[in-house]
A and B are shown apart, each in its own frame.
Chain A
Amino acid sequence: MRCVSFAERLDDLTRCAAAPGVEEVLLEPELLARQGRLDRRLVTELAEAARSAGVRAVLCWDTLLPQREFDLVTDELVEWNLTLFDAVRVRDLGAAMWLRQQHPDLPLQLIAETGSHNFESLLGLCEAFAPALERLTLSSELTEGETGEFCRRLPVPCEVLGAGRILLFYSPRPLLSANFEPEEDDGWIEVLSESEESGSRPFPTLETAHGTMMFYNRDLFQLDRLDGLRDAGLHSVRIDMRHLGTDETVTEGLVELCAAMASGAEDLAELWPNRAIAPFFKANKTTAQFKRLKSPLHQKRDERCLAQVMAGQRDRFLAYLVLRDFDVTEVGEVVLPTGDAVPVSGISFRDLEGQPVTRCEAGQVVTSGWLRRVCAASLLIASSG
Chain B
Amino acid sequence: MALQNEPQSLEDCPVSSRIPELLAPAGCLMRLRIAARYGADAIYVGGQKYGLRARADNFTDHELREGVAFARDHGVKVYVTLNAVLHDDDLTGLADYCRILQEIGVYAVIVSDLGVLRIVRQSSDLRVHLSTQASCLNSGAARFYKAQGVERIVLGRELSLTEASRIAREAGLEVEVFGHGAMCMSYSGNCTISNFTAGRDSNRGGCAHSCRFDYQQTQVGRTDRSQTGQFMSSRDLNAIGQLGEFCRLGIHSLKIEGRMKSAFYVATVTRAYREVLDAIKLGGCDEALLARVKRDLEAVPHRDYFSGNLVQPAGSDSVYEHDVDAPTRGSHNYLGVALDIRGSYLALRLTAALEEDEVVEWLPRRGPALAWRVRGMQELDGSPITQARQDSVIRVPRAELPDGVEVLMVLRGQLEACAV
Contacts and interface: CB of A to CB of B under 8 A. Distances in A.
Interface of A: 64-68, 70, 74-75, 78, 92-98, 101-102, 114-125, 128, 141-142, 146, 149, 166-180, 183, 189-199, 201-202, 204-205, 212, 214, 216, 279, 284-290, 293-295, 298-299, 301-303, 305, 310-311, 313, 316-317, 319, 321, 351-354, 363-365, 367, 376
Contact of B113 (A116, A128, A354): A116
Interface string B156-173: 101110010011000000
A205 B219 CA distance: 9
Contacts of B231: 175-176, 178-179, 193
B57 interface: yes
A65 B167 CA distance: 13
Contact of A189 (B119, B219, B344): B219
Given A193-B217, A198-B197, A310 B339 contact: yes
User: A96, A167, A195: which has the most chain B beta carbons within 10 Å?
Assistant: A195
* Pairs of residues from A and B, 8 with the lowest C-beta to C-beta distance, nearest first: A94-B140, A121-B115, A120-B115, A286-B201, A94-B141, A178-B316, A365-B347, A97-B140
Interface of B: 1-3, 10, 48, 54-55, 57-58, 60-63, 85-88, 90-91, 112-119, 133-145, 147-148, 156, 158-160, 163, 166-167, 185-187, 189-201, 203-206, 210-211, 213-222, 225, 227, 231-232, 234, 309, 313-319, 339-340, 342-345, 347, 349, 379-382, 391-393, 395, 407
Given A172-B158, A290-B54, A290-B206, A317 B201 contact: no
A260 B349 CA distance: 69
Contacts of B91: 118, 120
Given A64-B190, A115-B112, A367 B199 contact: no
Contacts of B138: 65-67, 70, 92, 94
B227 A285 contact: no
A120 B349 CA distance: 47
Contacts of B133: 115
A66 B85 CA distance: 22
A286 B200 contact: yes
Given A194-B216, A285-B199, A351-B343, A302 B185 contact: no
B302 to A, nearest CB: 19
A92 B137 contact: yes
A74 B1 CA distance: 9
A6 B160 CA distance: 34
Nearest to A92: B141
A191 B192 contact: no
A152 to B, nearest CB: 13
A199 B215 CA distance: 11
Contacts of B147: 128
A174 B219 contact: no
B67 to A, nearest CB: 12
A235 to B, nearest CB: 20
Contacts of A176: 217, 231
Contacts of A194: 215-217
Given A115-B113, A183-B222, A351-B343, A67 B189 contact: no
A18 B232 CA distance: 42
B193 A168 contact: yes
Contacts of B3: 74, 98, 101
Nearest to B156: A66
A101 B221 CA distance: 45
Nearest to A78: B1
Nearest to A79: B1
A211 to B, nearest CB: 8
Contacts of B194: 286
A177 B227 CA distance: 12
Contact of B216 (A174, A195, A294, A363): A195
A205 B118 CA distance: 36
Contact of B63 (A65, A94, A301): A301
Contact of A67 (B57, B60, B115, B137): B137
A114 B349 CA distance: 43
A192 B217 contact: yes
A173 to B, nearest CB: 5
B113 A171 contact: no
B221 A183 contact: yes
Contacts of A67: 10, 137-139, 159, 163, 166-167
